[in-house]
Amino acid sequence: MRILLFILAVAAFGISLGGASAWYSIQTIHGFGAIRSGPWTAFPFAGQSEVDPYTIAKSVADGSVPIGATEGLAFEAVTDSGGEALQMSCDYVLEGKTPPSKLWTLVAYDRNGEVAQAAPGGRTSLYSGAILRFPDDSFRISIAERPQPGNWIGMSGQGSFRLVLRLYDTPITANSGLISTTMPQISRGDCR
């Protein structure tokens, strides 16, 4: 009887440890072949047949549909450029340029993977054709609960969130093009 209890305890411990390590890998490790540029992470092989099982599991856990390699590339940010987690109680400024693409979208998601709740008069997504730009083609997007001048993503709520920038019809679908890609910076402002 003692041996049977010992075997059950070891099996329960192994299953718990295996489940915890799989959850940690899916939530924190960005998969094999992931490319980072500042706070942004891209999974260039997520929409291909050679995708690794961790990237598949992350897509399933996030509820996201990967963009095919010929369609474009999706970048995700869960931290600002300083490495701090994105929080709905803080204001942010996203500024710079995106890599070349015919069209891009920027969407804010809450920690449950749902589109974030819009603040009164605000919206939680933008696309490249509807933003104001500077003469050098750069832009500035304010992310805050209260209305901001210019480009504004208005969210309300509490907790963490993530930004997903999808580039459609972009030439940077290979690793060599992504390594030198410059992405917009995300700067934290005031927090409530």
Q: What is the pTM assigned to this prediction?
A: 0.75
Provide the domain count of the chain. 1
- Please report the pLDDT score of residue 65 as a whole number: 53
Q: Which residues of the chain are under the pLDDT cut of 50?
A: 47, 175-179
- Parent domain of 47: 31-191
Q: Say if 119 falls within a structural domain.
A: yes
List the structure tokens of 126. Answer: 């933008």
Q: Say if 16 falls within a structural domain.
A: no
- Please report the pLDDT score of residue 33 as a whole number: 60
Interval 4-35: pLDDT, tens: 888 888 888 888 887 777 666 665 555 556 67
Q: Say if 9 falls within a structural domain.
A: no
The answer to whether 101 and 109 have CB atoms below 8 angstroms apart is no
Q: What share of the chain is helix, strand, coil (3-state, %, to 5)?
A: 25, 30, 45
Neighbours of 24 (CB within 10 A): 10
Q: Say if 18 falls within a structural domain.
A: no
- Please report the pLDDT score of residue 14 as a whole number: 87
- Please report the pLDDT score of residue 175 as a whole number: 46
Return the CATH number at 155.
2.60.120.600
